[in-house]
Amino acid sequence: MAQEYFDFTNDLIFRWVMEREENCLAILRAILPELKITAVKRRENEHPVNYLAFDDERGVRFDAIIEDDQERFYDVEMQVANQPGLGKRVRYYQAQIDQETLKKGEDYDDLRESYVIFFCAFDPCGQDRRLYQFHYYEDVDRQLRLSTNSHVILINALGTKGQITPALAAVLDVMNRRRDNQNPLAVSLVKEIDGYNRDKKRRRALMNLQMRLKDERRLGLSEGRAEGRAEGRDEMQDEMTLGLIHALQAQGMPQKQIVEALALARKISLAEAQRYYEQVAQADSGGEH
């Protein structure tokens, strides 16, 4: 039986790809060539983004916020499931970007230009367009636009209409597992994703997280910690978390990757995942926890 292939739409694969600044730069330039971005840096974010009211009490977390050479900020996400409340989710992400990037002592006049970008494995608006971009407009006079310096871009991997750059078309081919696009970005992404699938440690992480998420969904444990949850459920989820850490340690995975995998599986912040890791380390060394 052929091994399962984890593609660009997989949460971990997408995260690993976007950990490399050269990939972030190439993808942003593919989406927004008019900005003429020449450099980017990742701003790590350890705060969870929870939209409990919007998505069946589940939560998500930024992997990183990307900043370009003009101090513009970007959040790029992969969205596979066509779930209700996408607009509210975008709104919440935008608010979180502003909160994360506004420097201490600054007020709203200092807000930087920002982009929330979703790669969608479905058509989010039903018009078969490959790219949708949203701003604030006046309802009657569409020529009147409110200058918020914020942008929302939804990219439809299934779309056929509208002009996009060859590089963005290449990224969408990678999303759709089309391997014949010879655009340099497509070739580079496919090679990198193939490498992650061949890497034994990363593949074990992918398989373990997939099985863990299936188990949690089956047991109903992947929901957020709603107020008033039974104490027994909390204890069971904590035990599963500690068990996952031990399993990944046994496979020789480095601490950093374990913490990242744990944050993704449990949908918690990196800081909270680190605390779980330290709890296990303390117990293994004979300390109390």
Q: Which strands sit side by side in the sheet containing 114-120, from one edge to the other?
A: 40-44, 64-68, 73-79, 114-120, 150-156, 131-134
Confidence label for 188 from pLDDT (cuts 50, 70 and 90): very high
**Residue predicted with more confidence, 216 or 254:** 254
Distances (CA, A) of 235 to 213, 231, 242, 283: 17, 6, 11, 17
Flag whether pLDDT at 64 surpasses 90: no
Interval 239-261 mean pLDDT: 75
| SS3 state at 115 | strand
Is the CB of residue 110 less than 8 Å from the CB of residue 102? yes
Is the CB of residue 112 less than 8 Å from the CB of residue 101? yes
Q: How does 115-139 read in b/e, with b if 16+ C-beta sit within 10 Å? A: bbbbbbbebbeeeebbbbeeeeeee
Flag whether pLDDT at 192 surpasses 50: yes
Is the CB of residue 30 less than 8 Å from the CB of residue 167? yes
User: Quick one: pLDDT at residue 3?
Assistant: 83
Q: Which two tokens stand for residue 97?
A: 């970007």
Confidence label for 189 from pLDDT (cuts 50, 70 and 90): very high
User: Quick one: pLDDT at residue 55?
Assistant: 37
User: Quick one: pLDDT at residue 224?
Assistant: 47
User: Quick one: pLDDT at residue 48?
Assistant: 44
User: Quick one: pLDDT at residue 264?
Assistant: 75
* Percent of the chain whose pLDDT exceeds 70: 79
Flag whether pLDDT at 54 surpasses 90: no
- pTM attached to this predicted model: 0.71
- Which pLDDT tens digit goes with each residue over 160-171? 999 999 999 999
**Residue predicted with more confidence, 60 or 162:** 162
DSSP state, 223?
A: S
Flag whether pLDDT at 16 surpasses 50: yes
Q: Which amino acid is at 132?
A: Y
Flag whether pLDDT at 27 surpasses 60: yes
Of 271, 273, 267, the C-alpha closest to 225 is 267
User: Quick one: pLDDT at residue 243?
Assistant: 72
- Which pLDDT tens digit goes with each residue over 118-154? 999 999 999 999 999 999 999 999 899 999 999 999 9
Residue 45 has φ and ψ, to the nearest 5°, of -125, 125
User: Quick one: pLDDT at residue 150?
Assistant: 94
